[in-house]
Structure 1
Amino acid sequence: MNLLKNFSWNMFLLAFCVILSFSFVGFALGQQLFWLAGLFLIAGFAIMGFGLTKKRKQQNA
């Protein structure tokens, strides 16, 4: 039974970057660097949007 036959490293790395970005938002808020928290929040949503469009194109192809 091969559980990892449909595993995609690219999508895993994108998801990891999104989680890391949102974790950095919490760190920046803890340091009271609100501009950096906003930057990481925008970056997280941008990476997530890129991953979702990539997945949508992959499923339609």
Structure 2
Amino acid sequence: MNANIIALILKKWSIFISIRYSQDVKDSLVKLHQEVRSLKSLAEEFGPSKDSIAIWFK
């Protein structure tokens, strides 16, 4: 199978791959959000969705 086709398939299905974040990472992102950072900026920079960070914040 062509490498480009494989890359396209992986990209398409990557939304279904679950990534587990350590408690330290979660705590760090929550602390940044509490201090001044928006959920959007944290999600864009570090990868977890805004919704995930919001859940950790609760």
| TM-score of the two chains, using structure 1 as the length reference | 0.26
More helix by share: 1
> TM-score if structure 2 supplies the norm length?
0.26
| Larger RCO, structure (CA 8 Å, separation 6 or more) | 1
